[in-house]
Amino acid sequence: MRTIELGKSGLQVPTIAVGCMRIDGLTAAEAETFVHTAVDIGAVFFDHADIYGDGNCESIFADAVHMTPAVRETILLQSKCGIRDDAFDFSKEHILSSVDGSLRRLKTDYLDVLLLHRPDALVEPEEVAGAFDQLQSSGKVRHFGVSNQSPDQIRLLQKYVKQPLAANQLQLSITNATMITRGLHVNMLDDTAVDRDGGILNFCRLNDITVQPWSPFQFGFFEGVFLGSDKYPELNAAIDKLAAKYGVSNTTIVMAWLLRHPAKMQPVTGTMNIGRLKDCVKAADIRLTREEWYALLLAAGNILP
């Protein structure tokens, strides 16, 4: 699969990341088949979090991949921490404890990437910096990033954290594209012009932070998948037309829409279906035209000023 550099870390990663949030819904045999198929097709970057399945997803993955030191060197592992049952927690103690738990469950000595999962209102960036320094010096984490954070939240961290933040995992799809569409409505009075994220897309591009879109097929906040949904007939018709043109599935076209953006994003899949995963990976070989990209944007209900 085509690769990109994750931020300015020097780490080359597949342009499609495999999200493992739902792997606990598979049987052991199904999980093994899914993971090994992903590796076989070059989808070797696996995204985890300590809260997925209350940690069970990481354990299931390690068993499915038959984790050994030799296997570990053939894959890339990213995990996230900072969400507790009743709070968000970026304290040094919690970050260090969370990483140790993930390493134990994943049966590995290190993470390639650690992301802070959601913003902590009580964050003390000095503690984050201390945790990152300790994790880096011990070899437990090689690269760092964030998830769902605004430019100012990242700036605050970067005032104290010396490691470059390589990635920011953000919700983005054709139907949830405000980080893109607000840039088209600058200096206008309509609702699309409202700045809801502080210009995070351009901020990430300016600072060499890779955007990792999550829920690339969802509309709303986990309200459902827009593919085949009667809520989006025009969008589905436009997607199906392009799928027929390129001889691929509608899944491939949706992923290709994200990859067409010049920000060089790394979308995170959520499927546990091997066929759909393969369709996602095929998007790395398709480059939509400018006209095709805009046609899908408009078909989703977005407007140009």
pLDDT in tens, 43-84: 999 999 999 999 999 999 999 999 999 999 999 999 999 999
> If residue 96 lies in a helix (H) or strand (E), which one and from where to where?
helix 92-106
Topology of domain 3-299 in CATH is: TIM Barrel (3.20.20)
Q: Is 88 helix (H, G, I), strand (E, B) or coil?
A: strand
**What does the block give as tokens for 133?**
């320094």
Mean pLDDT of the chain: 97
The whole-angstrom separation of Cα 116 and Cα 163 is 13
Q: Is residue 232 annotated as part of the catalytic site, yes or no?
A: no
Token pair, residue 237, equals: 């018709």
Residue 91 C-beta-side C-alpha neighbours within 13 Å: 7
Which neighbouring-strand residues pair with 214?
171
Instruction: Using pLDDT thresholds of 50, 70 and 90, give the confidence band for residue 222.
Output: confident
Report the alpha-carbon distance of residue 148 to residue 169 in Å, rounded.
Answer: 6
**pLDDT of 216:** 97
Name 141's bridge partners: 111
Task: Output the pLDDT for position 174.
Answer: 97
CB 131 within 8 A of CB 97: no
Catalytic residue among 52, 160, 232, 294: 52
Can you tell me the distance from the alpha carbon of 137 to that of 25, in angstroms, rounded to the nearest whole number? 36
Dihedral sign, Cα of residue 197, residue 203, residue 209, residue 211? positive
Which residue spans within 172-265 are E strands per DSSP?
Answer: 210-214, 218-219, 224-225
2, 15 contact by CB (below 8 A): yes
Instruction: Return the pLDDT at 72.
Output: 98
Instruction: Report, as an integer, the average pLDDT of 241-269.
Output: 98
Query: 48 to each of 57, 105, 143, 144, how far by Cα in Å?
Result: 8, 11, 15, 14
DSSP H helices in 118-191: 125-137, 151-160, 178-181
pLDDT tens digits along 83-133: 998 999 999 999 999 999 999 999 999 999 999 999 999 999 999 999 999
pLDDT of residue 220: 87
Q: How confident is the model at residue 1 (pLDDT cuts 50, 70, 90)?
A: very high
C-beta separation of 299 from 39 below 8 A: no
State yes or no: pLDDT of 269 exceeds 90: yes
Assign 158 a pLDDT band (cuts: 50, 70, 90): very high
Question: Which whole number is the average pLDDT over 204-229?
Answer: 95
Domain boundaries defined on the chain: 3-299
* Angular region, 36: left φ>0, alpha ψ -120 to 50, beta rest: alpha
Could you give the CA distance from residue 68 to residue 45 in angstroms, rounded to a whole number? 16
CB-CB contact of 20 with 57 (8 Å): yes
Report whether 292 contacts 261 (CB < 8 A).
no
For 220, 225, 305, the CA distances from 173, given in Å and listed in that order, are 10, 10, 20
CA-to-CA distance for 293 and 34, rounded, in angstroms? 31
Specify the pLDDT at position 302. Answer: 95
For helices 250-260 and 290-299, what crossing angle results, to 10°? 110
Angle of helix 250-260 relative to helix 233-246, nearest 10 degrees, comes to: 90
The H or E element spanning position 28 is helix 28-40
